[in-house]
Each structure stands twice: as structure tokens, then as C-alpha cells.
Structure 1
Amino acid sequence: MKEFLNDWGLSLAVFLPLVGAAIMLLIPRRDEQLHKVVALLTSGAVLVMGVLLIANFDFDNSRTLQFVVDREWIPFINSRYIVGLDGISLPLLALTVLVVPLCVIYSWNHIPEPGNPKAFLILMLILETGMVGSFVAQDLILFFVFFEVVLLPMYFMIGVWGGEQRQYASIKFFLYTLFGSALMIISFLALYFLGSIQTFDMRLLPESATAISSTAALWIFGGMFIGFGIKVPMFPFHTWLPDAHTQAPTVGSVILAAVLLKLGTYGFVRIALPILPGAAESWAPVIGGLAVVGIIYGALCCLAQTDMKRLIAFSSVAHMGFVMLGIATLTDFGINAAIFGMVAHGLITGMLFFVAGSTKDRYHTLEISRLGGLLKQAPHLGWILGFASMASLGLPGLAGFWGEFPAILSAYDPGGSDPNVTLFRVYMVIAAIGTVFAAGYLLWLYQRVAFGTPKDEFAHDGHIRDVTLSEWLAWTPMLVLIVLLGIYPNLIFRITDPAVTSTVAAFGGGG
């Protein structure tokens, strides 16, 4: 089994969704049930591959790449098909292969208008290939291809199955991401041409990039900073996110929040920091500053929202600010917290979007002023919303706490040059204030939506049903993981720490 996984494991995990999508293309559109079965079996097979990879992963050696495949791909530009898995990418791979089948299960009875499960589920499978491929790619061009693969499916998912402003939101998402990708590919080409070795191999680039002048390195890092920062999205590149989330169908919002935003933060940890550590130290105060501005700005925007889904979208801006603050510290403590925060945010905010989608199914609105009394009409749904809200505000004992608290703490003793210490301690205080705002807007949301009595227009509506079977099946694994990671955070930290420690060695260790 180990030998099979070494040769085929990661490639199967990446390309099985495309096989499923190809099979679905051959099935007539009218066979809706068969399309759902094929999509579920395909995403389930990818989940099985992910479990096998995790089961055979050498956790004592998580700093080194495992299951590596290195094959010739585009010899003309010396780009190779290189995939591998280490302690940094493993948690994100696991998150991806879990979330997609849960989204398929949820979609069983929730295909949004104008219907067409065939196209909707095919786009979801293509998204999975792009997401899994991005987390395992070890060649910059290969990474860029997978990074871009996710763009079109999400564009169509928002533009066809989204809300009233779907066309505006989808074009805005497309143009923002495309602009960031253009700067990112220019940075990748600069690394190729200015390095001591003309290669796109991420394993060789840290050494190759030492030949690049410090001024050029600052500009190259800046290009990657904008490219990845738009995807995160960091303030002030965040404006596409609330529109995309608000207009996207429920599973589109879940995939966007749970996985797609992590492509940006993963890009920082996997590519930008280890390849250009000197430039990272120079940019760190800027990244940290924008991160804490995003934390406060996102929280204040949440307090001003009247739409439940838009409020959750702005909360992502704030939560990803904590992740970026951890990354900006350039310490093993901070980056470990950032990776944990990526997984925790994926589970918790994905769960909140699931609940928001189900609330809209029942009430046909997400306007907070029209909602109320959810605990009376659908008690299980109300309690799940409360649970996810508590996890999102960072309640100790749930996963959100271990993404935020260590990220704030890591800013007390950042890596890099000494003059940054005082500045980052100011950032730490601002970020800590942000957690108070988070409690404010999430408790305000929960109080308005779940407490009290239903508004008159819904008070006598006997069709407000509680959580359905497909919803329980889709949500239970996420709810269990939020508790499990909150009680036992070492489940992730012990995987990421050796790999992160070797990454931050370039910054002289980092506390």
C-alpha cells in the first residue's frame, strides 16, 4: 500500500474529481439522482484517498515531503510535475477532502435555482481538483495552474446559481482574483530568471533566490503579497468577498470560506516566506499592520450589517486578519497558530454559512430584522447557530480559540529585527480588542435571529422545519471536529510544528 501511495496516492487525490466530472458529462442531464450519486461517490473516493494518505503519513518526519512524485512536464521552461505532502499541507488537504463530500450531501436536497444538478456538481468536482492540487504542488507553474483552476468554477457557481446581484459579484470576484494572479505569475517568472538556477521547483528556490538582490526581492515579494493578499482577502483587497459570499449559493459560500481563502494564506507560508525570507522580514510590519486593520475594520463592518450572510462574510475578513498576524510574526509559534486558524476558520465559518443557507431555505430571507425566534420554530437549528457563533468568537474549548489566542500571543515576541518588537506589541493589543468586537457582533446576531418570538409574517408558518437528515449528515463531522480540535489542539500542532520550525529557520529560529 505504501508503495502504491508513493507512486499514485497524491495524483489520484488530485485527479479523481476530474474523472468523476468526465463520467457525469456522459450521463443525460435528466438523470438527476444518478448525477448526485456519482458526485458523492467521487468525492467520497477522494476522501478515502485522503484518509489512506494520512494513515500512511510519517508524523515523526512531517518536516520532509512525503509521497513525492517528480516527473517531466514542460521541459521547454524546466517546469516539472512535482507533488508532495508535508506537515504544512496535510491539515489543509484533510480539510478539503472532508468539506467537498459534505457539500455534496447538503446539495442533495438543496440544489439552488435554476436547478441543473449536473452542471452544479461538475463545477464542485473541478473545484476540488484545483484546491487539492494547490495544496500538494511543489512547482510554481503547477501551483499557478491549480490556483487558477478554481477561478472559473466559482465564477460560474456565483454567476449562474447566485442571488439577485450574482452577475456583478461574479465579475468582481473574477477580475480581482485575475489581477492578483497576474502579479503573482510575474513574481514567479522573476524568481525563475533572477535566481541562480532557472527552476520553478519550490524545493530548490530558497537556495536559488539567494542570488537575487535585496531590492528586487522586495518587489518580487510585493507582487506575491498582492496576489496572495487578494485571495486571503486582506484589507484593503477584501471588497470582492462580501459580495461574492452574499450572492453565492450556500455550498459556494461554504467552499469559498472553508478552502478557497486558505489558498492565499497557504501561498504565504509555502512560497513567499521560505523563498524570500529577507524580503519577508521587511514586509512583515506592513502585513501585520494591514492584518490588525482588517481585524477591527471587519468587526466594525459586521456590526453595521443587516444581512446575516453578509455579516458572516465580513467576519471572515476579521478572522483571516488573525491568521495573517500570526504569519507576519515570522515565528514558529505564530505560523503554527495561523495554520490552525485556517483549519478552524474553515470548519466554523463553513458551518455558519451552512446554517445561514438553511435559514434562508426556511424563511426566504436573511434580513436580520425580519428573523427571530429560531429557537422556538427550529430549536436544533437555533442551537447549532449558537454553537457555531460561540466557536467563531473564540470560546475556549472550541477550535476557534486556538486559531486566535496563540496568533495574538505570538505578536508579543515576533521574529525578524528588534525595532519591530514594540510595533508588533501594539498590533497585539489592537488584535485583542478585535476579539471583544467579535463577541459583540456574533452575540448580537445570535440574539436577533434565535431569541425572542418569531416575527408576525412567520409566526403562524407551519412549514418552518427543523434540521433535516441531509443537513445532519453534512454538519455532524464539522461540529465534532470543532469540539475535538478545541479540546485537543495538538492534533494539528504536532503535525505542523516540525515543518513550520524548518521554514522559520531562515529567520534565525523565531520564538
Structure 2
Amino acid sequence: MSSFPLLTVAAALPAVGAVLTAALPAATSAKRRDVNKVLPLGVSVLTLVLAAIVAIRFKPGGARYQMTEYHSWISDFGIGYSLGVDGIAVVLILLTAVLVPVVMLASWHDADPVANDAGTFERNRRTQGFFALILAVEAMVVLSFEATDVFLFYVFFEAMLIPMYFLIGGFGDRTVGEDARQRSYAAVKFLLYNLLGGLIMLAAVIGLYVITAKQGIGTDGHGTFDLGTITQALASGKLHFSPVAEKALFLGFMFAFAVKAPLWPLHTWLPNAMGEATPGVAVLITAVVDKVGTYAMLRFCLQLFPDASKTFGPAILVLSLIGIIYGALLAVGQKDIKRLIAYASISHFGFIIMGIFAMTSQGQAGATLYMVNHGISTAALLLVAGFLMSRRGSRLIADYGGVQKVAPVLAGTFMIGGLATLSLPGLAPFVSEFLVLVGTFTRYPAIGIIATIGIVLAALYVLVLYQRTMTGPVKPEVAGFRDLHARELVVVTPLIALLLFLGVYPRPIADIVNPAVRDTMSDVHRTDPAPAHPITAAQVAAANSQGGGQ
């Protein structure tokens, strides 16, 4: 157990920053508004420093959960404030900490007052409230990645919905008029879908506690929510589920995570939410919050219910395969830039979930890398698209054309983000998508082969998007476009650098992730499939002798 509560501090810092930011006095001038934004930006940068320290202190060859903290919370029900991180949690905390300050810089003016038809300024909410909500989301996401108590995880898994609801409904995208009804619809749909998933998960969480209490797994005759205690009891045979109970509990957890992820057919809230949110908030949705769902599949579904995971694995693979192709097909037909990226993300989440439930080390390592790389590539594409849309005041693809002639840097960064989205070799998502496909193919060849259709469709929707917006004659409305300025360059440069670096050298992330993947494979009692035609000792000896004779 760590002597210094580093994990608590890493989550508490943005939470405290959110409170302090919300408490700032309302700004009456543009200069004062910018001053108010410095505090949350500074807090997010300090959180990034703490996340980097967590990553540096983490030892890939050490204990499974490190920097652990525990304090009794509600002892009568076996609930504890229990934190710890494995390699998968470490890289996702780092991803979150990298993206939040980037999102803040990109969204610097997204909550500023807007002139109405009468030429006066209107503002329904204080500007700093927008940034306070972003910090609140960061705090709850980080705690979700750190929690090793099932009930504690559930609390933050649900609590993050509240600030996200207000970010979507209260600070929605205003590039296409002021249709508050659409924003409200998207926010309510997001909330209701996820609350329904959370309600079903809560029933499963209670069921898990009841079973542990009946079998005496907790202390003083109570049950337990501690992940480590439960998994150890499962491994030793002290805790056992009936097949029906395990399947029911697995489905309760999986439903909530599939909504959050989102997995087809529980995905329909995502295009609405991303379409109505500002580009920065859309990045928070798909690159940060949704990753909690896929992460939880690895941490809770597979560890707590290994037999049910294997039973339902093939069905989930089919759903993920449908999501890959369905999302890509709908992306091809979109006229709205943000909805195109939303449907592309549904396709990408299909790859992530497919890698998780392929039950191979390559598939799960690829899925974890995909979570990181998808977060970076989607952030790059969405934020550059946001800069593009802010110049034109429209998110319709048909309203653009010839942008690369008047804003070549904007067009170039947009291209890199798009090429990363289609997993071009040399950019970060390629490695993860390749590992997912290889890991799936070794156990489920047919699903692995069909999933490659998603790659072809990704090339189609990305290249068509670039062609229609960036090439061709310069439209009159585009002719006066300004290229990326200093703040926007600061936003996109680290994202492009990460896409290039992790595309050619993914080892720093892989070295942290691989031990956690091996532990997860052990939890579900799975090993990688043996080759169809294993190499014999005689063949090895013959190859060695031939090599020595040359």
C-alpha cells in the first residue's frame, strides 16, 4: 500500500479545481473571462504532471495493482475506498490527463457570450461553469479507472453522467443556429440511456454482494465489493457462482458497459450527443468517457465472471462485428462532419470490443492500445474539424471545398487526423487495429476476415470527407479562411506528434499494458490458440543446421 495517496491526489486535484473554478466571480469582460480560464487550464496541466508521475512510478513487472490505497467507508456493507492501478488503468489515466488540457485550449471560446440578432450579448451560464464541468468529468473518470471496489466504481461510473449532461445540453454546439430543443433532446437521451444501463448494473452489483455474503467472503459476516478479494476467492474456489447467477450478473454489468462503450445496438445516443455537443465536449464523450465502458469490460466482466464471459463471448463478437460494419456504412453516407466522426467511432469501438472478447493476448493488447490510439486520433480529427466549422459556421460537408488552397496547415492536420482514423501504417491506430484483427483471426477466423471490411469502408469515408471539404474549387464562403493560429497549433501539435511517435514506436505503451493483459487472460483461464501446424523439434533442428551451413 502506498504511503503517499498519489491516486487520490491525482483525482482530487481536478475535483477541487472544479469547485474553485465554479466559485470564481462572473466575468464582465473578455479579458476577465480569459483570466478565469487560466485556473482550470493550470489545474488540468498539474493533473497531467501527476498522471505522468503515476506512469513513471508504475512497475510493469511488479504487483498487478500498484500504489494501492484503502480506507473503510461503509463497513456494514463491505464497502471501502479502495484504489489501485494496473497497466491498463495507467495508460488510460494518462490519456485522459493529456486530452483534458488539449480540450480546454481548443474550447477556449466555446462558452463565451454570443451576440444575438439585436447586437447585444446573451449568456445563460457563466463561462467558468463550462470549464468547471470539464474538470469534474476528469475527476470522475480518473477515479473510475482507479477504483478497485465495485461499489465505488459504480458511484463514479454514474456520477460522471451529471456534468456530461450539462456540458451537452447547457453548452451545446452553436455553429448551426440556436436550436436548444435538439441539444436538450440529445442530452436527455444520453442521460436516460446511461441511467438505464446503470440501474441494471446496480441490481447486478447488489446481487454480487448478496452472493459473497452468503458464502462468507467478506468480514464479520458481511459480503464484499472488493475486486481483489472476490477474484482471489474465485481463483481459490472459496467463491462460486451457479451458472444461472453468473450469467445474470455478467449481463447486468455488460449491459451498462455496452451502453457506455457504445456497442451496437445500444449506440443510438452517441450520434445525437456528439452532433449537438461542442467539438471539445464531443472529444470528452468518445475519447474519454466512453473508454470507461470498454475498460470496465476488461476489469470487471472478465475478472468477476470468467465462465460467463466465455459463454457470451461469441455473441458479443457478432454484435461488435455488426457495429464495425454498420458504423462504417452510416459514416459513408453522412452529410454532417461530426455525425460522420460519431459513426466512425461506433465502428472503432466495435474493433475494441472485438479484441477484448476474442480472448487472445494479441486481441486484448490491441484493444487496450486501440483505446489510447482512438482517443488521440479522434481528438485530432474532431478538434481540427471544430476549427474548420468555427470559420464557416456550418458542419455540413457540402458547405466546404478548396480549403487546402487557403488554409494548407489546417488541411494538412485534418488529413493526418483522417489518415490516423483509417489506420494508415505509420500512424498509431494501425498497430492496435492490426493486433485486434490478428488476435481475433487466430481464434475466430471468419469474424476476423469479415471485420476487415471495416478497414475498406474507413478509407472510403475518410478520403471522401477530405476530398469534398479540402480539395476542388475554392467556395466563396471559404475564400477568406484564416489558417491555424498559435493557440490552435498548440492544440493539434502534441496530438499529431503522439500519432506519429506511437505509430512507429508503440513499445512504451505495450510494455505497460502486456502484463495486465496476461493477468486478465489468466483470470478467464484462456491461452492463445496453438498454431494449426505446430513446428516440431525435428523441423527446428533442421532449420538450425541449414542456417549454420550457410
**TM-superposed deviation, 1:86:** 1.4
Q: Deviations along 1:339-378, whole A, 9 cap, x unmatched? A: 0000000000111110121111001011111111110121
**1-structure distance, mates of 2:418, 2:23:** 42
- Partner deviation per Cα, 1:270-328 (whole Å, 9 max, x = no partner): 11101110000001001100001000000110111000110000000000100011011
1:14 and 2:11 aligned: yes
CA separation in 2, counterparts of 1:169 and 1:291?
24
CA-to-aligned-CA distance 1:52-88 (integer Å, 9 cap, x gap)? 2222222332x51111001111112110001111111
Pairing 1:450–2:460 present:
no
Cα shift at 1:231: 0.4
CA contact under 8 A between 1:126 and 1:149: conserved in structure 2? no
Indicate if the aligned counterparts of 1:156 and 1:170 stay in contact, CA closer than 8 A: yes
For structure 1, which segment, 353-362 or 449-458, has the greater mean C-alpha deviation from structure 2 after superposition? 449-458
**1:457–1:58 CA distance, 2 compared to 1 (3 A):** closer
For residue 508 of structure 1, report the CA deviation from its aligned partner: 2.9
Instruction: Give, in whole Å, the separation in 2 of the partners of 1:476 and 1:149.
Output: 32
C-alpha deviations, 1:476-508, integer Å up to 9, x for none? 111111111110111211111111101111333
Matching residue within 234, 257, 260 for 1:231: 260
Contact 2:130–2:167 (8 Å) recurs in 1: yes
Helix, strand or coil at the partner of 1:7: coil
Q: Distance in 2 between matches of 1:25 and 1:381?
A: 33
Aligned equivalents of 2:158, 2:388: Cα separation in 1: 32
How many residue pairs get aligned? The number is 495
Show the counterpart of 1:466: 483
Q: Which runs of 5+ in 2 are unaligned?
A: 115-122, 174-178, 218-222, 529-550
Partner of 1:107: 107
Structure 2 residue aligned with 1:69: 69
Q: Following TM superposition, by how much is the alpha carbon of 1:11 offset from its aligned partner in structure 2, in angstroms? A: 0.4
TM-score, structure 2 normalization: 0.88
Give the Å deviation of 1:110: 3.8
Matches within 5 A, 1:231-270: 231-270=260-299
Q: State the percentage of identical aligned residues.
A: 37
Cross-structure match for 1:39: 40
Which of 227, 238, 249 is the aligned partner of 1:202? 227
Residue 413 (structure 1) aligned with residue 442 (structure 2): yes
The offset of 1:44, in angstroms, is 1.2
Which residue does the alignment assign to 1:129?
A: 139
CA distance, structure 2, for counterparts of residue 105 and residue 434 of structure 1: 33
Q: Distance in 2 between matches of 1:153 and 1:238?
A: 20
The 3-state SS of whatever aligns with 1:13 is helix
- The structure-2 alpha-carbon separation of the partners of 1:59 and 1:506, relative to structure 1 and needing over 3 Å to count, comes to closer
In the superposition, the TM-score normalised over structure 1's length comes to 0.94
Instruction: State the shift of 1:6 in Å.
Output: 4.2
Work out whether residues 374 and 449 of structure 1, in 8 Å CA contact, stay in contact via their aligned partners in 2. Answer: yes
Aligned partner of 2:83 in structure 1 is 83
Assess if the C-alpha contact under 8 Å between 1:14 and 1:129 holds in 2: yes
Quick one: which amino acid aligns to residue 289 of structure 2?
A: L
Whole-Å separation in 2 of the counterparts to 1:367 and 1:167: 21
What is the rounded CA distance, in whole Å, between the counterparts of 2:502 and 2:17 in structure 1? 32
Moved more, 51-60 or 491-500: 51-60
Comparing 383-392 with 205-214, which one deviates more in the overlay?
205-214
3-state secondary structure, aligned to 1:324 = helix
Bigger CA radius of gyration: 2
Aligned-residue RMSD, C-alpha: 1.5
**Shift in alpha-carbon separation, 1:223–1:467, aligned structure 2, 3 A:** same
Q: Tell me if structure 1 keeps the 8 A contact 2:60–2:515.
A: no
Q: CA deviation at 1:450?
A: 0.9
2:347 pairs with one of 287, 307, 318 = 318
- Tell me the CA shift for residue 33 of structure 1: 2.5
Structure 1 counterpart of 2:119: none
2:228 is paired with a residue of what secondary structure?
A: coil
How far off its partner does 1:138 sit? 0.5
Structure 1 stretch 29-38 or stretch 229-238: which is displaced more?
29-38
Conservation of the 8 A alpha-carbon contact between 2:54 and 2:90: no
Aligned partner of 1:116 in structure 2 is: 126
- Answer whether contact 1:6 1:68 (CA < 8 A) is retained: no
Is the 2:302–2:524 contact (alpha carbons within 8 Å) kept by the matching residues of 1?
no
1:28 to 25, 29, 32: 25
* Corresponding residue for residue 170 of structure 1: 187
Q: 1:269 deviation in Å?
A: 0.3
Distance 1:38 1:458 in 2: 35
2:198 pairs, out of 163, 181, 189, with 181
Deviates more, 1:231-240 or 1:156-165: 156-165
